[in-house]
Structure 1
Amino acid sequence: MAASILAGCAASPTGSSSPSVAPSPGTSPSAPSPATSPSAVPSPSRTPDPIDALSLEQRVGQLFMVGTPATTASPATLAVVRDRHAGGIFLSGRSHAGVSGTAEVVARFTALDHPEGVPLWVATDQEGGEVQVLRGPGFDAMPYGIRQADLPSDQLQARAEAWGRELADAGVNLDLAPVADIVTSEATRFDNPPIGGYGRQYGYDASTVADKAGAFADGMRDAGILPTFKHFPGLGHVSANTDTTADVVDRAVTPDGPDVDLYRPLTAAGPSAVMVSSAIYDRIDGSTPAVFSPKVVGLLRSEVGFDGVVFSDDLSGAVAVSAWSPADRAVRAISAGVDVVLVSAKPSVFPAMYDAVLAKAKADPQFAAQVDAAAARVLAAKAEMP
């Protein structure tokens, strides 16, 4: 989304009032003082940024989205929203409770006090096919992504708006969808377990994926739901699933290739978030998973031109990041430029993540500035929500 980066809370020299000016030697006592002289112009007061109202602890909390079962409000997740200021929750698993049952779960979280009225992000995976968390009365069965792509784009947008209104009625305001991954080919789709194997793709070329994923996102926006394009810079060519496998390496995606390029029209079309993959991209930065790579996140910022909120893929239970401690995962992701760390599969690791980020921000001014910038982007995105 085109959310502007707000300034941090450090006092600005230009934001303080001008010091009083002492009279020059020899000034006549009858001469007007500079403070009352018509030529003296008072310094304008600095307009407070929204982030100024948040403590460091609250800013750090905005950088996390923590899981709870979609069927119940986890006491542990309720506690971290209340006590560690988590800025978002993720409804995980599978639920057949329908719209009203889901809304009851969400209401337990939204009823909590939130810093300075900052809204809570309530998210889920509502893609379609096998990746549809919320079902039951009031929720339509959503087709697989590859079947959604059979619809004309205007019809897909209308269907997505209807699905989005179901989410809104249940209290959800952010969908971690649509998938924007280009799967190599129809003939080899099942060689790509995380996307093609589940029929999550919209197609096999950039034009089709951009058109259909864009239509889905437009429909979600029409319903007041923030869409999230995933999994940057592309997860359609790998031969293993990062959720269940370590050292998943992509050797196809390039910085100037179609997998990256399609994010330009997608993110330029309206407010959105982007999720970064935890695979390793050998032709961009083969040294570390993308979610820990300043090169990969920097590519999204500088080359694609995206200035909205960047999410990690799940960093709590994914085998792809299991070589790092939970604390290191969170610090590395934010250091790389990620704004929100997703802690969905194993929310019990959140306290260690939060505490590590907070400690690092207190000890390292450069990292603290990254925390401020990330929190500012989150607040800007939340402020744009209907």
Structure 2
Amino acid sequence: MLVLAGCAPASAPAPTTTTAAPTPTAMPTPTPTADPLAGLSLEERVGQLFMVGTDVSAATPATQAAITDRHAGSIFLHGRTQSGTAAVAAVVDQFTGLVGSGATGGIRLWVATDQEGGEVQVLRGPGFDDMPYAIRQADLPDDQLHAQAAVWGGQLAAAGVDMNLAPVADIVTSHDTRFSNPPIGALGRQYGYDEATVAAKAGAFAQGMRDAGVLPVFKHFPGLGHVTANTDTTANVVDTTVTADGPDVSVYRSLTAGGPSAVMVSTAIYQNIDPAAPAVFSPTVVGLVRSTVGFDGVIMTDDLSAAAAAQAWSPGDRAVLALSAGVDLVLASADPTVFAAMYDAVLAKAQSDPAFARRVDEAAARIVAAKAR
């Protein structure tokens, strides 16, 4: 019988192959995602959407009432003080102590201030360095600015401040025209005149703040470096330079990629993006923070309590319009007495409009999650 190579004779028994049964692979148990808003009432959720100003030298009664009566979730230290760390911490303690009473649903307060340097430095005195103007900070190499900002951030943290509405990310048109830009260039608040410089220097400052446990806030999206009037004191300030695909917007991409932060939106009008409304009320402008910048953190307003640029709208409308545009946190820093009308308008709309109620939940969840981090 011819046996072909590789074949067993017909009379030979077929070889037996034993295959082990496969070991079942256990499916991983999905980790449930905790609901950051669990246990918070609608009233408490709405409160999380506001940052209310207090006199830095003494706790403002209206701001204390904002927390106890309407659950405001954040405060802003407003004004100027030379009293030093201990005095500021004593004021802060009068607010943070209210959280234990359940006024905020147990969610901690953000305590913020403006500690940029130069003319925009709220906190001075024993325990606080005199910080140079941003344009002079930019003279430092990046690593030295980072290290120095960590020191400044540590001074804030020692006073109970955990959010700094800084650094400025505005790109001023040029050195030669800086004094025609009242809100930024004329005050030396800019880190430079081009995207690369601002990204490097503002980024170094922000990282120093993070190192100290202080959340930096980049401002004023999409840029106040080219306007010829200040939105705090002038209505209908129109920018004719900034574009959706220009450096004033794209600088935020690298800055926010550097780590946790928030973004503040300006109250100017941007002719080349949405000429119909101030940026803070414009879904088109605010939407760029999500779509073009790719940022998923907290977006906040510039002051909507006393700024001239917002006075054409009632306090309630200001808050509702900003939140409807996609902003998460409404700043009422200069005049805390308008907060009650803002809160009441937002709560009433959330109670009557399911789509707006979802927007409230989205914003509150983003804020509460950021505080937890």
Same fold (TM over 0.5): yes
Distance in 1, matches of 2:143 and 2:243, equals: 31
The separation in 2 between residues aligned to 1:193 and 1:50, in whole angstroms, is 41
Alpha-carbon separation, structure 2, partners of 1:344 and 1:66? 5
Establish whether residue 222 from structure 1 lines up as the match of residue 211 from structure 2: yes
Aligned to 1:93: 79
Aligned-pair distance for 1:47? Answer: 5.1
Question: Structure 2 CA distance, aligned partners of 1:382 and 1:46?
Answer: 20
**Which residue number corresponds to residue 88 of structure 2?**
102
2:223 to 221, 234, 237: 234
Residue by residue over 1:200-258, the C-alpha shift from the partner in whole angstroms, topping out at 9 and shown as x without a partner, is 00000000000000000000000000000000000000000000000000010000000
Matched, 1:58 2:44: yes
Residue of structure 2 in register with 1:157 after alignment = 146
- Output the CA distance in 2 between the equivalents of 1:301 and 1:160: 27
Structure-to-structure mapping, 1:32-181, within 5 angstroms = 48-112=34-98, 113=101, 114-181=103-170
Paired AA for residue 315 in structure 1: L
Which amino acid is the alignment partner of residue 355 of structure 2? Q
CA distance in 2, matches of 1:66, 1:303: 29
The structure 1 residue matched to 2:233, chosen from 220, 235, 244, is: 244
Contact 2:72/2:104 (<8 A) preserved: no
> Are the aligned partners of 2:49 and 2:328 in contact in 1 as well (CA < 8 Å)?
yes
Match of 1:281 among 264, 270, 275: 270
| d(CA) in 1 for partners of 2:305, 2:110 | 18
Q: CA deviation at 1:46?
A: 6.2
Q: 4+ residue runs of structure 1 moved beyond 4 angstroms?
A: 43-48
**What fraction of aligned residue pairs are identical, expressed as a percent?**
70
SS at match of 1:335: helix
Per-residue deviation, 1:116: 3.9
Structure 1 residues 45 and 213, CA, compared in 2 at 3 Å: closer, same or farther?
A: closer
**1:270 and 2:256 are equivalent in the alignment:** no
Aligned twin of 2:335: 346
Name the counterpart of 2:248. 259
Task: Say which SS state the counterpart of residue 286 (structure 1) adopts.
Answer: strand
User: Contact 2:47/2:104 (CA < 8 Å) preserved in 1?
Assistant: no
- Quote the residue 1:14 is aligned against: none
Kindly tell me: are residues 116 and 57 of structure 1, through their superposed partners in 2, closer, same or farther at Cα, counting changes over 3 Å? closer
TM-score by length of 2: 0.90
- For 1:363, the equivalent position in structure 2 comes to 352
Aligned length: 343
Deviations 1:303-339 (A, max 9, x none): 1100000010000000001100001000000000000
For residues 123-177 of structure 1, give each alpha carbon's deviation from its aligned partner in whole angstroms, at most 9, with x where no partner exists: 0000000000000000000000000000001000011000000000000000000
Query: Under a length normalisation based on structure 1, what TM-score does the superposition of the two structures give?
Result: 0.87
Q: Taking CA–CA contacts closer than 8 Å with sequence separation of 6 or more, which of the two structures ends up with the larger relative contact order?
A: 1
* Aligned equivalents of 2:88, 2:31: Cα separation in 1: 45
